[in-house]
């Protein structure tokens, strides 16, 4: 959704990339990500709701990167996702927890897109992340809600020079917590909405969009 302000000089809606770090068709993290769309839009965002299944990247290997660059560019799937990330002015990532940490899909996605592409330097490498706001949420069928994954995800995004919001949400027993696109627990729902609003506000405040 894009805003059409009455004042033509008003800033346009900031583009926020929203995605779940899971490839499962009915992943709990995907359910929570879907529940974030309406609050983000209500806060004034233009939501880029991504499914990483639409951007199947190879497992990162330095030799594969070198071979691709010898042909003049990174792998086509990587380039396509980099171009999507380049359009985003902020990120909201919903991650599951794998053995106390982030899933390999998330790390592989972030790593590939962080690689500079000499054929398109303006839309590749660290510039995709640097100084952009990011918010984190997690899901788990267990009681901790993926809290341990949030710690690691925060470290990785921070290393990529993203501005990671202090607010975060871990939804435990997520298979019971989300119904009809909304968190059943009112406190959790308010927290989710607050994070969405804070992310949009931070993006406006940083002024990274015209």
pLDDT digits (tens, 9 = 90+) for 63-114: 999 999 999 999 999 999 999 999 999 999 999 999 999 999 999 999 999 9
Give per-residue burial for 90-99: e unless 16+ CB within 10 Å, then b.
bbbbbbbbbe
Question: What's the CA gap between 180 and 117, in Å, rounded?
Answer: 41
| pLDDT at residue 139, as a whole number | 97
Question: What's the CA gap between 44 and 79, in Å, rounded?
Answer: 28
The percent of residues above 90 in pLDDT, for the chain, comes to: 89
**CA 201 from chain center: how many Å?**
16
- Write down the residue that tokens 């059943």 correspond to: 184
Beta bridge partners of 95: 138
> Is the model's pLDDT at 11 over the cut of 80?
no
Pick the residue with more confidence: 169 or 4?
169
CATH superfamily, domain at 15-52+85-115+125-206: Flavodoxin domain (3.40.50.360)
The domain spans of the chain are 15-52+85-115+125-206
> Is the model's pLDDT at 8 over the cut of 90?
no
pLDDT average, residue stretch 46-63: 97
Question: What's the CA gap between 47 and 27, in Å, rounded?
Answer: 20
**pLDDT band for position 3 (50/70/90)?**
very low
End-to-end CA distance of the chain: 17
| pLDDT at residue 209, as a whole number | 46
The DSSP 8-state label assigned to residue 52 in this structure reads G
| pLDDT at residue 10, as a whole number | 59
What is the reported pTM? 0.92
């Amino acid at each position: 959704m894009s805003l059409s302000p009455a004042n033509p000089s008003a800033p346009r809606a900031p583009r926020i990339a929203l995605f779940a770090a899971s490839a499962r068709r009915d992943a709990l993290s995907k359910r929570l990500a879907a529940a974030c769309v309406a609050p983000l839009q209500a806060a004034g965002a233009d939501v880029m709701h991504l499914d990483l299944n639409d951007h199947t990247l190879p497992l990162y290997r330095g030799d594969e990167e070198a071979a691709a660059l010898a042909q003049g560019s990174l792998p086509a799937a990587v380039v396509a996702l980099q171009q999507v990330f380049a359009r985003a002015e902020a990120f909201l990532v919903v991650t599951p927890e794998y053995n106390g940490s982030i899933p390999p899909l998330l790390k592989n996605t972030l790593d590939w897109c962080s690689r500079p592409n000499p054929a398109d330097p303006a839309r590749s490498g660290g510039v995709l992340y640097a100084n952009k706001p990011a918010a984190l949420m997690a899901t788990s069928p267990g009681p901790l809600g993926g809290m341990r994954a949030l710690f690691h995800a925060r470290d990785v995004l921070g290393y990529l020079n993203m501005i990671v919001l202090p607010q975060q949400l871990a939804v435990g027993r997520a298979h019971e917590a989300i119904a009809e696109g909304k968190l059943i627990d009112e406190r959790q729902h308010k927290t989710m909405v607050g994070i969405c609003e804070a992310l949009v506000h931070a993006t406006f405040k940083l002024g990274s969009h015209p």
